[in-house]
Amino acid sequence: MTTTRTLAPGSATDLGALTARDLMRPVAGVIAEDATLREVVARFVSGGCRHLLVLDRDGRCAGVLAPRHVAQAPARGRAEPGPPNSRSRRRRGSCGCPRRGLAWVGGSARPRRRRTMPFCKTRDGVEIFYKDWGSGRPVVFIHGWPLSGDAWQSQLKAVADAGYRGIAHDRRGHGRSTPVYDGYDWDTFADDLNDLITGLDLRDVTLVAHSMGGGELARYIGRHGTGRLHSAVLLSAITPLMLQGPNNPEGVPNEVFQQLKQGIVAERSQFWHETAVVFFGANRDGNKVTQGNKDEFWYMAMQETVEGGVACVDAFANTDFTDDLKKFDVPTLIVHGDDDQVVPIDATAHKSVKIIPDATLKVYPGGAHGLVLVPGYKEQFDKDLLDFLAK
């Protein structure tokens, strides 16, 4: 028989005390008698009341209490939770990243900590979401347009399994980061990256950047130097210049960039479906592109803000990163497919390798722009990346 109970002051038990069997059992929700907060108490039923999982108004876990702490709820001793979807009251570290911990109900004993969603708050208040896997020398992945840090899932696992610390963030306006209206320029992107690196106090870092992320990497070095860096990797990167002109005849005509912006504004969902084909080279005979590749591209692209999508086109179309590339003084691996229909290799990789002092170019025959996600090329890149990291 289910009994309604309320919470009294006391410390929370270790989350590890809950077994897999406990978590699979039915949960009953009741309202606590404390009318001030009206917390929802979910009781795990396992041969009696073994543990109580406390949820706040937003449905987030606030703690776990053992039966000896179950009694009449007090009227004081609780912190008022923030409004729905607010992170304003989360405890944060020096970079704005939420500290790991449990809120507790009254009492003086502090409960064990738990993991929370990792965000880094930038100098202008934007919250940058990031994944942080493994331990060891850090490898920071910078995604391309219009994707998110999820594009690096395979590489994050590969480096973490190999004994490195893999970190991948969502650029502002992309993925789970703050969907801002402005700030889509290279100096801002580079400063966001610097906020993440310094906030997490990362040193001896290898930066790995894809496509538009190459511009972010280049501008980071241009503005903040290489004091915290070990090496760099440019994959299908837009550097040094994308726009076609008298001094860059191999570049992309301006009309193409205007069509990209028009497609985003007109009907972005269909536009991203169509763009995925060229992005992965699914229009080439004998390609190994899967439907999953195209679906994943569409899903990540739809998380990007409309303004971010349009503004980023202007940013990567018109910016010349030559001066930034000249400031590279760390070993740099450049990887590019010779069938990239989005970022032509002759306008980018073949020129970057001549500008960066200590650079090595690897060309993937038949490789498309999004090769890092395509079966076959993905495994090849993972191997080349790990070999480069080991040097």
The domain spans of the chain are 1-77+87-115, 119-390
What six digits make up the tokens of 11?
């410390």
pLDDT at 303 over 50: yes
Which positions are annotated as active-site residues? 211, 340, 369
Least reliable range by pLDDT among 70-74, 152-156, 370-374:
70-74
Which strand ranges, in their side-by-side order, compose the sheet holding 138-142? 119-121, 127-134, 165-169, 138-142, 205-210, 229-235, 332-337, 359-364
Question: Residues 6 or more apart from 178 whose CB is under 8 A from it?
Answer: 125, 126, 127, 128, 172
Query: Right CATH number for 119-390 from 3.40.1020.10, 3.40.640.10, 3.40.50.1820, 3.30.920.30?
Result: 3.40.50.1820
Average of per-residue pLDDT values in the chain: 81
Give, as one character, the DSSP assignment of residue 245.
B
What predicted TM-score, i.e. pTM, was given to this entire model? 0.73
For residue 32, the model assigns a pLDDT of: 36
Question: Predicted confidence band at 117 (pLDDT cuts at 50, 70, 90)?
Answer: confident
Neighbours of 328 (CB within 10 A): 23
pLDDT at 182 over 60: yes
Mean pLDDT of 143-148: 98
pLDDT at 54 over 90: no
